[in-house]
Amino acid sequence: MKLVTQILLHVVCYMLRKNMPDKKTASIADKDVEVNKTIAALSYAWILCLVPLLTKRGSKFAQFHAKQGLVLFIVEIIASLVFWFPVFGQLLMLALVVVSVMGIIKALNGEWWEVPYIYEWSKKINL
């Protein structure tokens, strides 16, 4: 099981590095990013994605991360049904937790990180 977990982590890291589009790093002068990066980090903490989605409507940075967090939350709910399958479900949940932690770190660093596959779905959300 330990070997499978290590392999999964390597695959997830490789996938994120390979499929990561050109990231837009926010400058320190960008006030929207500086003011809202803490609340944008909440976007990747399951149901808390609704906090920036509903309270920070004027912030493009918070909305960008909140929409990705909402899609990730929906995927996590669906994955929780698969969680009961012994190895596959647990590895899937581990991968989703890794992506969530990476999203929190990227948001706290003020980066416009486009999560692979998740970002494409989040662009379709118009709230």
- Identify whether the C-beta of residue 112 lies closer than 8 Å to the C-beta of residue 25: yes
- pLDDT tens, residue by residue, 57-103: 888 888 888 999 999 999 888 888 877 777 887 888 888 889 999 99
Alpha-carbon torsion, ordered 89, 64, 44, 28, to 10 deg: 130
Query: pTM, whole model, 2 decimals?
Result: 0.70
- pLDDT for 21 equals 47
Is 103 a domain residue? Answer: yes
The two most distant CA atoms of the chain are separated, in Å, by 48
DSSP category for residue 112: E
| Number of domains forming the structure of the chain | 1
- pLDDT tens, residue by residue, 15-38: 556 544 444 544 533 787 888 888
Is 61 a domain residue? Answer: yes
- pLDDT for 11 equals 54
- pLDDT tens, residue by residue, 106-115: 888 888 888 8
Q: Which residue has the higher pLDDT, 120 or 82?
A: 120
Is 127 a domain residue? Answer: no
Say which residues have a Cβ less than 8 Å from residue 9's Cβ, sequence separation at least 6: 94, 98
Is 23 a domain residue? Answer: yes
Is 91 a domain residue? Answer: yes
Is 114 a domain residue? Answer: yes
Is 62 a domain residue? Answer: yes
Residue range(s) defining the domain that contains residue 52: 2-122
